[in-house]
Amino acid sequence: MSSITTVNQTENQVQFNIDQSKMFIWDNRYENVTFRNLTGGTLSYAVGTVLGRISATGKVTEMKSAATDGSELPIGILATVITDLATVSDVVINMCTAGDVAEEKLIFNGADVITTAEQARIYRDWLQLAGIKAVLGTDLTGFDNQ
C-alpha cells in the first residue's frame, strides 16, 4: 500500500516522500469479518492494524494486551481502511489471515510491539501460529528477490 507524505510546501514548490512498499507481501489469504469498535469513541483504523477476536461475539477488534475478552491475542491484520467508526458500532472489513506481511508496517495498540509477551509467547509467535509471518522489508532488498 503506497502513501504520500508532504514534507515541504511553499508558494512555488512542494516536496513529497513517497512510500510504495507493500504491507502484504506473499501468498496472503483474506476473509471478510465483522469489526467492532470498543474504544469508547469514534475512531479510524489504518491498514496494518493487528486484530484480535472477541470470544463472546466472534467479532474482531483492535488487539490489546490489556484486554481479557479474547482480543488480547492476534488473529489477523486489517487489510482495509476504517474511517470514523462510532463506538460499539460494527462494520464488515477485509482481514489478512495468512501469508507474509511487512513487520515494520504492523500497527499495535499503545505500547505493544511485536516482541510483547502474552500468555508465555511473544506476539510474533502468536501471529505465526495464526499463519501470518512478519518479515522485515530489508529482507526483500537483495538481488535474489528481484
Question: pLDDT tens for residues 98-143?
Answer: 999 999 999 998 888 998 888 889 999 999 999 999 988 665 555 5
Model confidence over 21-54: pLDDT tens digits?
678 888 899 999 999 988 878 888 999 999 999 9
Q: Is the sign of the CA dihedral 38, 39, 40, 45 positive or negative?
A: negative
- Give CA separation, 94 vs 50, 54, 76, in Å: 12, 17, 10
